[in-house]
Amino acid sequence: MTSSITDVAGIEVGHFTDARRPTGCTVVLARGSAVAGVDVRGAAPGTRETDLLAPQNVVERVHAVLLSGGSAWGLDAAGGVMRWLEEQGIGIDVGPARIPIVPAAVLFDLPLGDQRVRPDAAAGYAACQAASRSAPAEGCIGAGAGAVVGKIFGFHRAMKGGIGTASVTAGGVTVGALIACNALGDVVDPDTGRVIAGARTEDGLHLLDSRRALLRGDAPRPMLAGSNTTIGVIATDAVLTKVQASRLATVGHDGLARSINPVHTLSDGDALFALATGASGRTPGMMTLAAMAAEACALAVVRAVRAARGVRIGELHLPAAGEI
């Protein structure tokens, strides 16, 4: 049975993929609300409502997290998520209205196809309509539709990225992750260090291994700041405080560091959100939860590229893992 973030009680996932070009968005719903945290590690992020999630600020619970393509334009899709939640009567009661809290993060997928096509409010709304407790589809769908990895030595030498999910259960508590991988660096097997997908040799026929290439002095050709990014959501049914949720988001980046190399670069906007539904009624301790979160994130990154499929747009060919 495939493990996924929807193994966490209280979590639903929905994708919207735009048929006009490779782009889309993905929503993680917590209809009953969830205690939330965030950790932004990349130097060029595109986000919304991250200040709200700082442990010292007042609001503790959110109702959804949006992951989107389209770069900064993709943040528009969060408005559609808010509208859908409002129609369901979901949000913080402020007297005259209920305000849904929807943090979001975006990745840069504009080089594939017509950049004027990007997720908007209608896309976010459609993703909510598609949401369910079923294991979400992986690969080139939703926020991962236009994801590309291994761009550190030029976009023409890169490979197709995507979105992936995984979960880990221990002691009656589950931690899941959903990761859209659009990294500048390579994706590697966290157990062996072997490159799975990433920068290719100049002839395009073999994997380069960017870490070794950089260490021997090969000159990188990174894209503009913000033109890469790995974004995702960690969710657990453990009972957590807002401070603990923020820490869970932080340690989730350990999983990114195991599976992406290099990661958290000046050209990436890496960001992870954490949601705690509390549905298990258990609190196993942050040491165990930290190990579970890092493991789930690493597995989700690997599954994102292994589920991806190659794409051809004009003369550009971006193969998928296993094709070379």
* Structure-token pair, residue 233: 């959501």
| Alpha-carbon torsion angle 74, 15, 8, 302, nearest 10 | -80
**Does residue 323 sit within a domain?**
no
Task: Determine the pLDDT at residue 38.
Answer: 98
**Does residue 290 sit within a domain?**
yes
Q: Residue 224: pLDDT band by 50, 70, 90 thresholds?
A: low
Q: Is the pLDDT of residue 127 over 60?
A: yes
Between CA 49 and CA 184 the distance in angstroms is 25
Between CA 130 and CA 54 the distance in angstroms is 30
Q: Is the pLDDT of residue 242 over 80?
A: yes
Q: Could you give the 3-state DSSP secondary structure of residue 175? A: strand
Residues 114 and 21: beta-carbon distance below 8 Å: yes
Task: Determine the pLDDT at residue 223.
Answer: 65
- Which of 72-76, 93-97, 245-249 has the least mean pLDDT? 93-97
Between CA 41 and CA 263 the distance in angstroms is 9
The pLDDT mean for the chain works out to: 95
Task: Determine the pLDDT at residue 314.
Answer: 86
**Does residue 51 sit within a domain?**
yes
**Does residue 103 sit within a domain?**
yes
Task: Determine the pLDDT at residue 43.
Answer: 85
Task: Determine the pLDDT at residue 228.
Answer: 87
The average pLDDT across 154-163 equals 96
Q: Residue 258: pLDDT band by 50, 70, 90 thresholds?
A: very high
Task: Determine the pLDDT at residue 21.
Answer: 95
**Does residue 269 sit within a domain?**
yes
**Does residue 221 sit within a domain?**
yes
Between CA 283 and CA 238 the distance in angstroms is 5
Q: Is the pLDDT of residue 2 over 80?
A: no
CATH code of 237's domain: 3.60.70.12
- Domain extent, residue 259, equals 5-318
* Structure-token pair, residue 241: 């405080």
* Structure-token pair, residue 302: 């690997």
**Does residue 157 sit within a domain?**
yes
Q: Is the pLDDT of residue 1 over 60?
A: no
Task: Determine the pLDDT at residue 222.
Answer: 67
Return the percentage of the chain with pLDDT > 90, whole number.
Answer: 91
The average pLDDT across 310-316 equals 90
Task: Determine the pLDDT at residue 77.
Answer: 98
Q: Which tens digits make up the pLDDT trace of 173-204?
A: 999 999 999 999 999 999 999 999 999 999 99
Q: What DSSP state is assigned to residue 200?
A: B
Q: Residue 44: pLDDT band by 50, 70, 90 thresholds?
A: confident
Task: Determine the pLDDT at residue 12.
Answer: 98
Task: Determine the pLDDT at residue 226.
Answer: 60
**Does residue 83 sit within a domain?**
yes
Could you give the number of structural domains in the chain?
Answer: 1
